[in-house]
Amino acid sequence: YVTSNKPTEQTVWISTNYTVGAPSTAIWTQLIAPTWPSGSDWTFVSSGDIDLSAYTGNSNICIAFKYASTTAGAATWEIKNVVVIE
């Protein structure tokens, strides 16, 4: 279930210098998911491919899923079947 603020409430990030337990010290780059669900329903939607070719050969990659909400409105974000292919 999503709200109209989905691109800002639910984001995907990548880092090449993340240290376990210290996310605030890493440099994060936001990745853009090309596809979002169309409305307020519970249908799973494929996000589409996200190009990670700029990170090929880097051995220290961390992908983060960030969810933000307010007391005025909170969506549900379920992540399923994440696949990274080299």
Q: Which residue has the higher pLDDT, 66 or 15?
A: 15
Residues spanned by the domain of 25: 6-67
pLDDT of residue 77: 76
Residue 83 in domain: no
Residue 80 in domain: no
For residue 28, the SS3 value is strand
Instruction: Give the count of domains, the chain.
Output: 1
Residue 46 in domain: yes
Residue 75 in domain: no
pLDDT of residue 76: 75
Torsion of CA 81, 42, 28, 59, to 10 degrees: 0
Residue 45 in domain: yes
Secondary structure tally for the chain: helices H, strands E: 1, 3
